[in-house]
Amino acid sequence: MIYTWNDIIDRNPDYKSDIDKAEFADNLPFITPTDYNLHISWADVSTTDAAGNFNSGWLSGNWEHISDNPIVPMPRPAPEAPSQRVGCE
């Protein structure tokens, strides 16, 4: 099955952060902010039980089966421990 997430990226006056970002963008030189549509699609195999409940795949919330998928982001490395300062007292 192919799933698609659709969104309209625009100024939404219902959200103060959108208003603030739009005002900021309007004041940048040499650009013209514009609205756009965003569509992200992905393929997945989802299975259901006899009652129609998803028991595998994206809709089941069980994402372990996609760990080999190359578009799944790899886990971020743990931050390095802070270096110790020696002789700087």
The pLDDT assigned to 88 comes to 47
Q: Can you tell me the distance from the alpha carbon of 73 to that of 63, in angstroms, rounded to the nearest whole number?
A: 12
For residues 86 and 62, which has the higher predicted lDDT (pLDDT)? Answer: 62
Q: Can you tell me the distance from the alpha carbon of 89 to that of 24, in angstroms, rounded to the nearest whole number?
A: 45
The pLDDT assigned to 28 comes to 92
Cα–Cα nearest to 16, from 5, 8, 24, 7: 24
The pLDDT assigned to 17 comes to 87
The pLDDT assigned to 31 comes to 86
Q: In this structure, are residues 3 and 58 in contact, taking their beta carbons and an 8 Å threshold?
A: yes
Domain positions in the chain? 2-66
Residue-wise pLDDT for 34-78, tens only, equals 888 999 998 888 888 888 887 877 777 755 555 555 554 545 556
Q: In this structure, are residues 3 and 40 in contact, taking their beta carbons and an 8 Å threshold?
A: no
The pLDDT assigned to 49 comes to 83
